[in-house]
Amino acid sequence: MSAEATNPEAHPEARPELRRRGRSRLDLRRLGRAALLGPTSRDRLPDAIGHVAEAHRAHHPDADMSILRRAYLLAESSHRGQMRKSGEPYITHPLAVTLILAELGAETTTLTASLLHDTVEDTDVTLDQVRAEFGDEVCFIVDGVTKVEKIDYGAAAEPETFRKMLVATGNDVRVMSIKLADRLHNMRTLGVMRPEKQARIAKVTRDVLIPLAERLGVQALKTELEDLVFAILHPEEYEGTRALIAAHAGESDPLPGIADSVRTVLREAGIAAEVQVRPRHFVSVHRISRTRGELRGSDFGRILILVGENADCYAVLGELHTCFTPVVSEFKDFVATPKFNLYQSLHTAVATPEGYVAEVIVRTRQMHRVAEAGVVALGNPYATATPDAAADPDEERVDPTRPGWLSRLLDWQQSAPDPDTFWTVLRAELAQDREITVFRADGGTLGLPAGASCIDAAYAQHGEAAHGCIGARVNGRLTSLSSPLSDGDTVQLLLAQDASSGPSAEWLDHARTPAARIAISRWLESHPDRAMATTTAARAPLSVVGVRGGGANAVADLPDATVRLAGCCTPVPPDAVAGFLVRGGAVTVHRIQCAAVAQMRAVGRTSVAVHWRATADCRVTLLAESFGRPHLLADLTEAIAREGVEVVSATVEPPVEGRVRHTYTLQLPDAAGLPALMRAMRDVPGVYDVSRA
């Protein structure tokens, strides 16, 4: 980190969000000279951090600035004489990082730690000195950043690098906030590096730090990092996009006129709102140019509307859709259903009479602050923690991210068998751009990536105990474990009582979360025989035939005719039945509701009257639908035997998506016992339906 320095004016056009800020861009060289040479009185802040104090007071008017003054003086004296590769005094780097965080609204503790974030690594200052001077909380954050700084960022060490980084930063998201701001300043000042080193740093930033910024909701950092990475890794496309934006700057922009019309509509409706035109950043323009082809003037920006209350967002939306033509497919409500990274806004698009389509974002001012700064805007997210939490690095802290994805990362990274697996799964996890929340049967909630299945929910709720999961109820309906879940679903997981139960290899085809995939893979590796059995090609149905069969107890009004009960519907007393004469002079007996009855009549089969004998015994075929598990056939056969019923034959089909279909032909001593038999079969764990064939 300390080595990454260069010209602060590199790629200025890639930072449109900075131009939109009211505060002018700082001259870091001037600040560096002031830090080294400028006189400072004891009763006021040093001139070099005046801009930091100004930005901090804008968000926290009552903040105590004395701690910032003391932190700056310690950092300046510790780094005195150190220079960056560009020739700037080194103190300009922690100052710039702190200013970035101050503009985002970070609280005083974070800014204090940011000023000191390189002192323990690069100077003689110790953690004990930091703790004695600034307290446990600042020391805890500085220690976390120092651990990240000591990580080797060599290409070969990349997977293990980010495993260590997650462990170092995961216990306090403020550590990651400082790391992101630090990387942003280094990316801004990357020009003095060799091209190959610039590319390596940019790739690491692209693969992990930008997705982490997205996860933390820090859009202001994420968008600028994207532009800087874009300029380094794709210079030709970057230049093409820059030319597009430059050409648009010379044309008439329709968005200010549309914004004026929106202001008029809202003013006449009595809605207090601030309407802005927000230019798109470079990567955003590049993306839409690839999807839309030739861009029009309204494609280079969006209209942002800021209001006071949540209800005002929907009032604005109603006026927009009333006074303009809405593009229905563009409407998204992230106010009622916030995104995984705390983001809330209403998104819509409206068409004007001139044929322009303008994208519109509606949010409250608080939503806007969180949208720009993410977890940084939360202040101290651990304020409710116990006072000793900062002193003990092993103390578990509440995860401020929604709905706890950071905790999940820390959990499954411990189970990843090797760095390469960790790296692959980490990138897949960070690539997820949407999360869903499902409700557990006990009233709790689970946060899962979009597209997650019941298998993912099982491992998220039960951990390794989910190996014995045999099915699930989603919104009260039985379903297979492979069924995908939707936002707001209620899921109840069904676990087998048999401790030997385990997952099949098919589960990996439906698992989306790292925790589920790693747990399933580890179980299959430790049970190779079971894994081989579950991956064997489809087998022929297993058939079990009883030692003797029973005679039919239906009588046809046709002398000497052989009577057979149809296997398609297996009629039993007292079912209403119909008989038909078939080849060989036999009479087949069907239930009246059977579809074969209409077919027999359609082909002209001779109808024969049939009645039941006085004997109560009968033969019936039942279908049992179940979730696959060991010993299921034995348990079902035992349940049938307890009812005093004889199994004539049984067929078990190969499992499909974890579900198994059993077909039983049974000889009942009394037809009246059929309902009790079916209930007994349904009570067998794993069986979710029993019906007549």
Residue positions annotated with a catalytic role = 121-122
Q: Which amino acid is at 3?
A: A
Are 658 and 504 within 8 A, CB to CB?
A: yes
Q: 523: exposed, middle or buried (C-beta count within 10 Å: 0-12, 13-18, 19+)?
A: middle
- Of all helices (H) and strands (E), which one includes residue 651? strand 646-652
Spatial CB neighbours of 367, under 8 Å, sequence gap ≥ 6: 335, 344, 345
Residue 558 CB neighbours (<10 A) = 17
**Angle (CA) 198 201 205, round 5°:** 130
Instruction: List, in sequence order, every residue forming a beta bridge with 277; answer none if it has no partner.
Output: 303
What dihedral angle (degrees, nearest 10) is formed by the CA atoms of 221, 223, 229, 234? 180
Largest CA-CA distance found in the chain, in angstroms, rounded? 123
Tokens at 58, concatenated:
């804008």
**Nearest by Cα to 556 from 567, 548, 565:** 565
Tokens at 76, concatenated:
């300046």
Are 283 and 227 within 8 A, CB to CB?
A: yes
Q: How far apart are CA 375 and CA 341, in angstroms?
A: 8
Q: Which amino acid is at 414?
A: Q
**Nearest by Cα to 281 from 9, 17, 8, 12:** 17
Buried b or exposed e, range 170-208, using 16+ CB within 10 angstroms = bbbbbbbbbbbbbbbbbbbbbbbbeeeebebbbebbbbb
DSSP string over 331-361: -EETTTS--TTS---EEEEEE-TTS-EEEEE
Q: How far apart are CA 508 and CA 521, in angstroms?
A: 8
Are 401 and 375 within 8 A, CB to CB?
A: yes
Q: How far apart are CA 248 and CA 685, in angstroms?
A: 67
**Nearest by Cα to 178 from 218, 128, 150:** 218
DSSP string over 243-257: HHHHHHHTSPPSHHH
Spatial CB neighbours of 538, under 8 Å, sequence gap ≥ 6: 654
- Three-state secondary-structure class, residue 305: strand
Q: Long-range contacts made by residues 29-38, C-beta under 8 angstroms, separation at least 24?
A: 29/88, 29/92, 31/92, 31/95, 32/88, 32/89, 32/91, 32/92, 32/95, 33/89, 35/76, 35/89, 35/91, 35/92, 35/95, 36/76, 36/80, 36/89, 36/91
